[in-house]
Structure formats: C-alpha cells, structure tokens
Structure 1
Amino acid sequence: MISGFRTRTVIVFTALFVSSASMASAEPRSSTAFQMAVAEFVPTGSGVAEFYRENGFAPVWVGETPEHVARRSRLIQALSSTDMHGLPQGSYSVQTLIDKMQTARTTRDLGAVEIKLSKAFVEYARNLQSGALRPSEIDDGLVRKVERVSAKDHLKGLVAAQHDTYFDQLAPQSTQYRALMKQKLVLETLVNQGGWGPTVPVSKLEYGDTGPNVIKLRNRLVSMGYLRPTANPEFDGAMLIAVKAFQADHGLATDGVAGQDTITELNRSASERLKAVYVALERERWLPRERGERHILVNQADFSAKIVDDGLVTFETRTVIGKNTHDRRSPEFSDEMEHLVINPSWYVPRSIITKEYLPKLQSNPNAVGHIHITDRSGRQVNRAAVDFTQFNARNFPFAMRQPPSQSNALGLVKFMFPNKYNIYLHDTPQKNLFAREVRAFSHGCIRLADPFEFAYALLAKQEEDPKAFFHRVLATGKETTVQLEEHVPVHLIYRTAYIGPKGKVQYRRDVYDRDRKIWEALQKAGVALPDVQG
C-alpha cells in the first residue's frame, strides 16, 4: 500500500516541480500571488497562520528544492502509515491530498495545496507526539494535562530540522513505546493467523488432573508460548510451571491452579490483547517526555508503585488504589513529590465527613470517637454539647482530624505531592488488603505495602543512614514534615498492557473500565483492528 503511494507521489512531485519552477522564474508578482493564495487559505487566527506570517508566507511543501521534495515525500509516507502507531488516519485522506497535488495548475492552487499539507502535517504531528484523543473528554478520572506543541512550533521545527528528521522525533522515544510497537506487530500477525486457537472451558484445573479440558489447557498454553508441545494428557509439573508463568504475566495469584480468573484471562483473544496495546500506545503519548532521571511510577491497573532511577526500577511495592465507584477511583496525573510526613494526622476529607461520619454522629454523638471534631479555630468540640441532627452536608461547620497513632488511617507516614485532587501515597493499618489479587479499596489515595522501605529509598539521596533517620523521627511520636531536598516527579498511570523489566509483555485487568472507553474513542476516531478475530 505504501509503495503504491510512493509511486503515485513521484508523479505528483513531477507536476509540482513544473509549477514551482514556473513560479520561481516568473515575475515577482507571482511570488506575491503565492503569498496572497496562502493567506487566503490559511485558517484565520490559527497557529498555522501565525507561522506563515512570521515565515513571510514562504512555501514549506511546494518548493522545488531537495528539502521541499523530502518533506513532501516523508509527509505522504507518514500519513500513509498512521496505523503503524495505532493512530487514526485523521481528517485528511492521503488520496485526497494526492489528488489536490496532481490537479494543482495555478499559483492559487499551489497556495491551497500548501495549506492543506501544513494542516495535515500539524494534525499528524500532534496525534503522534501527544495522542489523538483528549483524556478529559473520555473519563473524569483522566485528569492528566497533556503537553501539546503548538501548530506554529511544529512547523518551525520542521523547517529548522536537517532534511526530514523532524518526523523521527515526533513519536515517544521511550523504551516502553518502542517495545509496545513491537508487541503490536506480533499481535497483528497473530490475529491474521487466527489467534491462539480454541479456548478452554471455565473450570478448575490443577496439578494431577487429567481429561479433555487439561488437553485444551495444554494446547492453549503451547500456542501462547508458555509450554512446549507434548502429548501428555496430565496436568504435570511442566504445566504447573507454565500456569504460574502465565499468572505472573497477568497479575494473577501465582498458585498454579487454573481457576476461573486464570482461565478467563487465558481465553482472552489476541484481538482483545491487541486493543490493550493500542490503548497503551495512546496512553504513552499522553505522558511527559521528560519523566525525571529519578521518578515514581504508580501503575493503578498493576497495583504497584516503583521508584525508577535512570531507567531502572530500584524499588517496588504493592499498592491499594481507590475503590471502583464514581467518587473514589484514583485519578491519573503527574506531579512532584515535595515532602513526607512522619506520624501524620489524618485530616478527614469533607466528602467523607458528610457522607460517612455525619450520619453516624446524628445517630450517636459519640460515634467515631477516635476522630477529633474541631471548630474553625482548631479547638476540639465537646460532642455532648452539639446537636448533630441540625446539620446537613452543606452546613456542617466542623472539621475532623485523627491524631497520629498506630491505628491512624494514614498509618505512620504519608508522601506528599500537593495537588487539587488531594491524592497522595501513604501507609495503612489495613495490611491484610495487600494479600488480595485485586486491590481497589481506598477513598482514592494510594496505600503502600512497604511504606517504611519506600521512605528509606527516597531519603537515601539526602541522609547517610536513611533508616536510622526515619526511625529517630518516628520514635518521637510527633507529626513531622521532612522536606525532600530534590523533588521527585510522580506519575500516576493506568496501564493494562506494558512491557516488563525483562522485555516480556504484561497484561492486567481493566478494573476501572477506562481502557474500554479509550478503545471506543479510538475506534470512533478511525482506529481499526485486522479483520480476522483470534
């Protein structure tokens, strides 16, 4: 398909060369006429218009120099292969652009073609660099602010670049993006070949079992690359190892038992996995290009938090994320961690006070006695002197605070990156939740399974003995803020498909249903999978 476009492009370029050469050898009025044509077709008040005004309305695409030729060629090639990145074609059909170039005969025609090519380039550049979708339009938990380069700056960068190298800089340069692109090609080939074959009936299969369902499980594991082909009809040791490996790659409990959850994930088609990769590519385009040499990465779908130093994971722990209800799901955004608080107080959010605690206080003024009720001056309120039944969610005048303690809702340390969503990372007294496979239980903040060790890792950059320092402060029992001398970028992401540290693809469940929404939005924008379902 692309080679066909290239062949036709040669014809187009020949026609344009004649027009460009004629324009170059004509009277100055021809140059003025071209400028007037560009000004006529450029969108008023747009970044494209601003670029051309500053550029003296000089041609970016329809000139006859090798640079103009290279730009035209590369643009047609790029627009012809947007599907390589899982992107929609956009609002400009390649065939339409080629037709416009082929039929250009007058200076006015060339001006129109110039602007059409610029608009197509800007749309392509924006989609590839920062995503085709606007996160906030898809889900209210997608509060990430995407860095977007202006149309003017894209065009300026293109003109300033050596040859057509600007195109090579547009896609994310991250290892994750490149690995996802490779996985996309693998899955597309697999889908076209029919996928992983027959599914496995949902049942419980474990070590020592035999029968037709075990054979189907074996065949599925073989086709997915987890097991070597064999005629053994028994759930043997090799199959046990294969099931555990599959479970590890899919965020399941690695017990080696093929129960309902494991078989459900096994039965997901190659097409379903390909959709997850398409969504992951779009999500990767939303992230900041500069993540930070040291940064914190919280993957909500993986229930994990990592510290990454120079591209390597140097610390990792399990997490609990927000409960899957409309007012508790953890949002996705990036910020900077500024400090940690040892022996923190828990200042109860207004939403929890009015929705959960006020009804209890109205039934019993002594309810939730571990929480201090304070007035606007911070003084503790005598509960016996207050008629809580006179208040509602709008007029409740008090604040509520749980002082530092072992049973504090935030545990013994919290990690702060101040944001308007009131989201942070923290310890928790509810350690039992970390043994769960799906860990969505909080009010939105991220709970850490190993908060002390997380603190040691952060403080290691500024304390000679971070563990001793931490426990010295902890032993005081006093609420203490410890500033991080170097702020650490924090990225709260949600990735159901990603490439693990050993280069192996990992899949996770869409606990918040966000990826389904993103995929539907990509489809609506024009992204399509191969026809064959597998």
Structure 2
Amino acid sequence: MTNKLPKRVRSPFLTFAFAAVGAAALSISSPVPATAQSTVSAFAQSVAEAAAREGEVAAFYRANGYQPIWTGNSAEDLSRRKALLTALSKAGDHGLPTVDLGDLKMRMANVTSVRDLGALEVELSTLLVDYAQGVSSGILTPSKIDSGIVRKINRKDGTDVLSGFASSSPAGYLKSLPPKNAEYGRLMREKLRLENAIQHGGWGKTVAAKKLKPGQSGDAVIALRNRLVRMGYLSRSASRSYDASIQKAVQQFQADHGLTDDGVAGAGTIAEINVTPEKRLASILVAMERERWTNFERGERHVWVNLTDFTAKIVDRGSVTFRTRSVIGKNVSDRRSPEFSDVMEHMVINPTWNVPRSIATKEYLPMLKNNPNAVSHLKLIDSRGRVVNRGAVDFTKFTARSFPFAIKQPPSSRNALGLVKFMFPNKYNIYLHDTPSKNLFAREVRAFSHGCIRLSDPFDFAYALLAKQSSNPKATFHNALETRRETRIDLEKHVPVHIVYRTAVAPAKGRVNYRRDIYGRDAKVWAALQNAGVALHAVDG
C-alpha cells in the first residue's frame, strides 16, 4: 500500500479544512467557487490524472462519472473514511503491511486545491483496493515465490471492490473481507499469544543438550522444564529432575509438532523446543497468508492433503471424517509435491503404472544400458503399442532424448501404484495412490516419492469415498479388485482435492500444531512478506 499524494499546493481560490472526527473520519468544508461546473470539471480531471496508472480504480471513476466517494461532506463519505482508516489501523492484526496513518491524516489536513482533493480521492480508493485484495486473498503471488506453489489466486476486481463498498455499509463491507473459516480466527489468536510472549521476554533459556530422558537431572533439565512452563505445556514446577510430569509435557509437545511422542527429548525434539517465539510467529503470519490464498469454497466434502503434516484427510461439512498417513515427494528439485487444488473424478483399481518419461530416462535407461534384462517386472512398449523384445535392442545407443519406448508396469501387488489410485486429472500428473512400500509410513519424516501422494490406508480411503454412492462400498471396491483387471470407478459426485503446505495449523481443540518447513517454501514466503512490508510485532501486556 503506497501513499501517492502530490506535494501540497496552495490555492488562492479554495481552502479545504480537514479535521479528525471519531476514530479517523474527515470533515471537509469549502467556499463556493466561481462556478460549480468548473470545479467539478477540475476535480474530474485531477481524479483522471491521479488514477491514470491505477487501471481498475480509473475504470471505476470513468463508470461513475468521476463522482467522489470519499472527499465529500456527506454522512456517507464521512462513514466511508472512518471505516477505511479504522480497517487500515488494524491491518497488522491480519499480518498485513501497515500504513502510516499519521502521515496520511496530516496530508488530509493540508489539502488546499482541487488537484490535491482529486489525488486524495484516488489514494483512498487505491488503499481500499489494496487492503481488500490483501486481506481476502493475500498480498503475494504464490507462483513468483516458488515454482512448486502453483496455486491460482482469484483476486477481487478493484472496480467491483469500489462499487461494492460504495453501495454497502462501509464497516460491514470491510468486515466481510477476511477469511471466515474458524482456522483463520484461531491463527489470529495464536498470533496475539506469541506477540505477548515476545513482549514478556520469550520462552527463556534454550536447552543445551543433545538428548534428555526421564530420570536425568541438571541444568539442561531445568532449562527444559522452564521452557515447557513458559510455552504452556507444564504447570509451574520446582522439580530439578526429568520426572513424570515433564515426560508427559514432552509427549504432548511432540504430538503437537509431528514428532514421535515417546516422551524422550532427543535431538529433533530439543531442536523444536529451542525454536524461538519469533520464528513461530513468522510461521503464523505465513499460515495466515496461505489461508487467504485458499479463501474460497473448498467443498462440502473435500480432500485436504497437508504436505508438511504427511497426512491426507476427508473433510465433510468442516469435520474430518477420515485421516491417513501419507508419503510425499522427496525434497529434491524435480520431486517435491506441488501445491494446488483440483477435483477428484474417479479411482482406478488394479492400475497400470505408466512410468513418467523423466523416471524412464533418468533412472531406468542407465540400468538398461548396463543390463537389458534389468527391471524385468516392467514392460517396454513401442510406438505401435507392442511389447518390445529387450534382447533385440541395443540400449547403449539411446540418450534420454532419443529413447523411443514407453515403460509400463502391469497391475499386481508389486505395482508401484499399489492396488488403487485416485485421479484428479491435472497437468502436474499428481494423484493419490496405494504403495507396496508400507514400511515408510512408520517414519517421522515421510518425503520419499517422485511427487505423488502415497496413502497408508488406501482401501479405507476408497471405502469412505464410495460410501456416498454405494450401500456396500467395501463390496463394490473388492468386486473390482478381485478381477485383477484394471477397473475404473467414477465418483458420482466429484470431490475437490486441496494439496496445501501448512507449517502452522490451529485445531479446534488443543494447542496450535507446528511442522518443519521440509521444502523451505515457508522461508521463501516469509522473506517475500517481509519485502512487502510485513513485520513481527510484540504487544503490550
């Protein structure tokens, strides 16, 4: 949000006096000009000039005949000014850049010409559009931050913002803009809690130990105890040993941070305990921006995949009705799972794995060059759809670009996709699926795939989806499975799928959960927010 008023220009013909009324309103008075028509024309010209580089704002004023919505002396104009400045004064509550309202009010009080008045009219409209778009759908363009954040943002049209605001209750319109879901409100409360913690000195001395376990004592245990107390995981205690109460507090902390909850403070747990409240606050501000990116109707029933949490959930009317562990893309440049939304249309039981060309040429071609009979469970298919006799092929003459074959894996329990995949066709070739590699779901960090999302309980996931269209979803699924043939089952009602990346999640009950920034994306988002003018704030307690 930028201030664009020109320098003060004194006019011998007009004197405009601005005075604060209430929270931030403006009162305007002006003498009768030589001709009202000339003043209107001059005002229109000044608005047109000031809005020349603000396309949507300019379009609004062209459409309304350059009539002011801010700078008149009517009760409506006064109400709009008051509502906007009140909203801008609270922009920081939403983790948005703040406006120097003192400077803005000073310049409002020093308008001395029609030209100044027109510039002020446009500035207030521009501030409204910037605020409305920022608080409703975020201030950043995700795709400019990281190539894996391919989420499309639906910004409010500036002309629609101004028209809607001008024809509505100003305060009511501004109140309607932020996300209305409960998660956003809980994140705002956590923001306030962390700001208070920072104001009061943070969470105390960090824990200087590689590992602590029940029964131990010493300075590191005391530091652990004190930090857990200040974070709210432990009641005030004078215990100097790692007792049962500390163990229980550590277990709860671990559960809230996606760690193995064994009650032992190992290196990973201590690293998370030592994270500062400032860093947690940055995570909250990023989460709020991400929440604004998904400020749209998510679907009465939808699938919610949080990459950092390694989970996939089915949500019905706001409540999680199914949850399973997931494996996501490995943290290397060409395997990280992207963030986007699409719609699940069908599932494929006993799927064939059509090996992506990148995998075929980068991983399998080198193996075939060394041994034509390598990966014998895979079939090579030529351009006519025929299975290739490997013994008749000299693989050494092919490069990644010239390799002419497709590679497929027929349906089987050993298939890389397992026994079922869930399709929401998209240009990123990402889907949810089963896997024969079940051991990976026991890991704390589960980033191993080529980008698709593997599910720990795919059969149960399928039953839950089919329950909306089958009286016996389990039988429907297994009747197809037992054929051992590739079978497609369409979902009668398509289900939105949202693949998100949230390192801070505020559940309805319990404390806010935090997760590691496994792909480093939140660090990039936070840097971009800071560049846009967002700052950490402590509040007076």
State if a TM-score over 0.5 links the two structures: yes
Partner of 1:428: 435
Work out whether 1:82 is the aligned partner of 2:95.
no
TM score, norm. by length of structure 1: 0.94
Residue 224 (structure 1) aligned to one of 225, 231, 239: 231
Q: Which residue number corresponds to residue 381 of structure 1?
A: 388
C-alpha separation in 2, matches of 1:289 and 1:134: 16
Question: Match for 1:489 among 492, 496, 505?
Answer: 496
- Please list the CA deviations of residues 468-514 of structure 1 after superposition, one character each: whole Å capped at 9, or x if unmatched: 11111101111011111111111100000111241520000111011
Instruction: Give 1:355 shift.
Output: 0.5
CA–CA separation in structure 2 for the residues paired with 1:142 and 1:246:
29
Q: Which amino acid is 2:346 matched to?
A: H
Is the CA contact (8 Å cut-off) linking 2:26 and 2:78 kept in structure 1? no
Contact 1:12/1:102 (CA < 8 Å) preserved in 2?
no
What is the aligned partner in structure 2 of residue 342 from structure 1?
Answer: 349
Give the Cα separation in 2 of the matches to 1:452 and 1:159. Answer: 53
Root mean square deviation of aligned Cα: 1.9
How far has the Cα of 1:288 moved from its partner? 3.9
The percentage of aligned residue pairs carrying the same residue is 56
Contact 1:344–1:403 under 8 Å retained in 2: yes
Contact 1:330–1:445 (8 Å) recurs in 2: yes
Written as runs of structure 1 = structure 2, the 5 A alignment for 1:405-484 is: 405-484=412-491
Shift of 1:289: 1.5
Which has a greater percent of helix? 1
Letter in 2 for 1:499: A
Letter of the structure 2 residue corresponding to residue 52 of structure 1: Y
Distance in 2 between the 1:50 and 1:230 partners? 64
Aligned residues of 2:314 and 2:322 also touching (Cα < 8 A): yes
When residues 391 and 9 of structure 1 are mapped into structure 2, their CA distance, relative to the original with a 3 A threshold, is farther
Cα 1:226–1:440 shift into 2, 3 Å: same
Deviation, structure 1 residue 453:
0.5
The answer to whether the 8 Å contact 1:308/1:315 transfers is yes
In 2, distance between residues paired with 1:426 and 1:525? 39
C-alpha distance in 2, partners of 1:31/1:425?
A: 62
Instruction: Answer whether contact 1:414 1:427 (CA < 8 A) is retained.
Output: yes
Alpha-carbon distance in 1 for matches of 2:538, 2:227: 22
- Bigger mean CA deviation after superposition, 328-337 or 74-83: 74-83
Match of 1:64 among 48, 63, 73: 73
Change in CA separation of 1:15 and 1:344 when aligned onto 2, cut-off 3 Å: closer
Mapped partners of 1:371, 1:160: distance in 2 = 64
Segments of 5+ residues of structure 2 without an aligned counterpart are: 1-17
Q: 1:13 to 1:199 in 2, by over 3 A?
A: closer
Q: Distance in 2 between matches of 1:258 and 1:12?
A: 50
Q: 1:22 to 1:319 in 2, by over 3 A?
A: farther
The equivalent residue for 2:29 is 18
How far has the Cα of 1:41 moved from its partner? 1.8
The answer (yes or no) to whether the contact 1:13–1:69 under 8 Å persists in 2 is no
Deviation, structure 1 residue 384: 1.0
User: Compared with structure 1, are the counterparts of its residues 323 and 229 closer, same or farther at alpha carbon in structure 2 (3 Å cutoff)?
Assistant: same
Aligned match of 1:292: 299
By how many angstroms is 1:70 displaced?
A: 1.3
Structure 1: 5+ residue runs without aligned partners? 1-6
Q: What CA distance in whole angstroms lies between the structure 2 residues aligned with 1:198 and 1:14?
A: 47
| C-alpha contact 1:434 1:449 (8 A) present in aligned 2 | yes
1:4 corresponds in structure 2 to none
1:522 to 508, 513, 529: 529
Deviations 1:394-443 (A, max 9, x none): 11111111010001000000011100000000000000000000000000
Aligned counterparts of 1:440 and 1:8: Cα–Cα separation in 2: 59
Q: 2:82 aligns with which of 73, 80, 92?
A: 73
Indicate the SS of the match to 1:9: strand
In 2, Cα distance between equivalents of 1:530 and 1:32? 45
Q: 1:185 corresponds to which residue? A: 192
Contact 1:59–1:114 (CA under 8 A) maintained in structure 2 = yes
Measured in 2, the distance between the counterparts of 1:103 and 1:418 equals: 58
The answer on whether the counterparts of 2:258 and 2:444 sit within 8 Å (CA) in structure 1 is: yes
After the TM superposition, list the runs of 4 or more consecutive aligned residues in structure 1 that deviate by more than 4 angstroms. 11-16
Aligned to 2:360: 353
Most deviating of 410-419 and 41-50:
41-50
Aligned residues: 522
Q: Secondary structure at the match of 2:492?
A: strand
**CA contact under 8 A between 1:296 and 1:306: conserved in structure 2?**
yes
8 A contact 1:179–1:503 mirrored in 2:
no
